[in-house]
Amino acid sequence: MSNIKGPRGTQDILPGEVEKWQYVESVLADICHRYHYKEVRTPVFEHTELFQRGVGDSTDIVQKEMYTFEDRGGRSITLRPEGTASVVRSFVQHKVYGYPNQPTKLFYFGPMFRYERPQQGRMRQFVQFGIEALGSDDPAIDAEVIALAMNAYQELGLTSLKLVLNSLGDLESRKNHREALIAHFKPHKDELCEDCQMRLETNPMRVLDCKKDREHPAMETAPSILDYLNKESREYFETVKSVLDKMGIPYVIDPNLVRGLDYYNHTAFEIMSEAEGFGAITTLSGGGRYNGLVEEVGGPETAGIGFALSIERLLMALDAEGIELPIDEQLDCYVVTVGDEAKKEAASIVYQLRQAGIQVDKDYADKKMKAQFKAADRLRAKYVLVLGEDELQNNQINLKNMDTGDQQTIKLEEIVEHMKKEFKED
């Protein structure tokens, strides 16, 4: 029988690698705690309609990339391709907008699913960390979201970062810009790729983001959204920029930064890695403001902004910058035994030490003493306890500190207390 492999675009995260995930996830959760964002957990699948309405019918995600199926009850279900729509759905469903403390500041971790062409940094199942702030249209919260994102990367040690910023303006600004874009690209319609010919009808701004038509001369002369921002949108953007300036967070403006989801308005941003050898896909994270999405999902008028990053790309960036995470892979204690009686006694000592909060392991493969010491070395045990027939007869156990090489003999009944003290001093 042939082997069954995991589906294309998915990965297994095994011990040795999973510690990195746990480490970065703990740093991200800690940052959220400081910025006062609370965790929310939503289901991995939703009614398809949520993403059609939320992310937008004309987006690549909804048109080509969703894992959609009918469940046994005949409902159309989709594995979530992103987190924002689900968070907003849950905010509306549970009337969280009525809670006393507003804005509502949430974060989440979880697998997302997109049927994309897999390549390095582009998976079909990937893990996003994201935050959403709902219920404030203060430009300072736009800056807070961006600051949290930058802070997260910097705290993990990344330095080659570029923050790219744009404003997509409000509905009126976008409408005017849209008309200008259509007028601009229409004469070149036949020269554009098939997707862009469609986009020109449905969402002409996405033409600016097209990888295939990037070199088309009409791109360079295309009308910029920044020239179409009305007074309100312009002022909003200016304030976001000035708060970022005050915070000392550098950014570059790119009027062609469009984002692939339909719900955005006003602030849009992406963070790129500029590290050498990072690979073809340089975007580490993206986000923006989505005033109007809460209403789209059936809630009251509520402003919103957020961003998401994938852990996969974050780890790639750490790799590209050669950053070693401070992961402690040492084992606290390994127990070596000789003889059957000692083995039994050791099982009980291991149990007691673990109850006392110490990480302990022992041999379960009937290895010779020498091989057990080898295993302790491989596991980089800080301490090795040796229980042989002699020790057992004298009611003692031998303790070796593997860093210093110091050895001492301890009474069996005192070993747990002794080890507790050793680890308190560590």
Is residue 166 part of the contact set for ligand HAM (CB under 6 A)? no
**Residue nearer to ligand HAM on the CB measure, 147 or 416:** 147
Q: How far is the CB of 266 from ligand HAM (least distance, A)?
A: 12
Verify binding: residue 116, ligand HAM, rule CB under 6 A. Answer: yes
> Long-range contacts: 244-250, Cβ < 8 Å, 24+?
244/143, 244/146, 244/147, 244/165, 247/143, 247/147, 249/143, 249/146, 249/147, 249/150, 249/163, 250/163
* C-alpha closest to that of 240 among 305, 173, 160: 305
Selected binder of ligand HAM within 223, 255, 288, 299 (CB under 6 A):
288
For helices 139-155 and 231-247, give the axis angle rounded to 10 degrees.
40
3-state class of 47 per DSSP?
strand
Do the beta carbons of residue 102 and residue 136 sit within 8 Å?
yes
Q: Closest CB to ligand HAM among 10 and 197? A: 10
- Which span (45-53, 113-121, 172-180, 383-391) binds ligand HAM, by CB under 6 A? 113-121
Is 236 marked as a binding-site residue?
Answer: no
- Any binding-site annotation on 264? yes
| Cβ neighbours for 414, distance < 8 A, ≥ 6 positions apart | none
Shortest separation between residue 11's beta carbon and ligand HAM, angstroms = 10
Q: Which of residues 128-157 bind ligand HAM (CB under 6 A)?
A: 128, 130, 132
Residues 228-267, mask of contacts with ligand HAM (x by CB under 6 A): --------------------------------xx------
Q: Which is nearer to ligand HAM, 121 or 135 (CB)?
A: 121
Q: Site mask, ligand HAM, residues 50-89, x = CB under 6 A?
A: --------------------------------xxx-----
Give dist(CA 303, CA 291) in Å, integer: 4
Three-class SS of residue 208?
helix
The CA distance from 120 to 312, in Å, is: 9
Window contacting ligand HAM (CB under 6 A); options: 189-197, 228-236, 247-255, 284-292? 284-292
> Quick check: 112 and 126 in contact, CB under 8 A?
yes
Listed ranges 117-125, 202-210, 223-231, 370-378: which one lies at the site for ligand HAM (CB under 6 A): 117-125
Q: Tell which residue, 41, 28, 23, 33, has the closest CA to residue 284.
A: 28
Q: Nearest residue to ligand HAM, using CB?
A: 306
- 103 near ligand HAM (CB under 6 A): no
Q: Which of 267, 258, 247, 253 is nearest to 211 (CA)?
A: 258
41 belongs to an annotated ligand binding site: no
3-state secondary structure of 38: strand
CA distances from 150 to 9, 147, 260, 267 (A): 28, 5, 21, 16
Beta carbon of residue 4, minimum distance to ligand HAM (angstroms, whole number): 23
Please pick, from the candidates 46, 312, 332, 391, the single residue that binds ligand HAM as defined by CB under 6 A. 312
Distance CA(353)–CA(422), nearest Å, equals: 12
Give the total of residues touching ligand HAM (CB under 6 A).
28
Spatial separation of the C-alpha atoms in residues 155 and 314, rounded to whole Å: 12
For residue 285, state whether it binds ligand HAM (rule: CB under 6 A): yes
Instruction: State yes or no: 83 annotated in a binding site.
Output: yes
Shortest distance in whole angstroms from residue 361 CB to ligand HAM: 35
Q: Does 316 bind ligand HAM (CB under 6 A)?
A: no
**Residue 309 bridge partners (DSSP):** 129, 285
Longest dimension (CA), the chain: 95
Nearer to ligand HAM, 104 or 337 (CB): 104
Segment (H or E) for 113: strand 104-113
Q: Is 263 annotated as a binding residue?
A: yes
Known binding-site residue numbers for L-histidine: 82-84, 114, 128, 132, 259, 263-264
Known binding-site residue numbers: 82-84, 114, 128, 132, 259, 263-264
**Contacts with ligand HAM, residue ranges (CB under 6 A):** 82-84, 114, 116, 121-123, 126, 128, 130, 132, 260-261, 283-288, 290, 306-310, 312-313
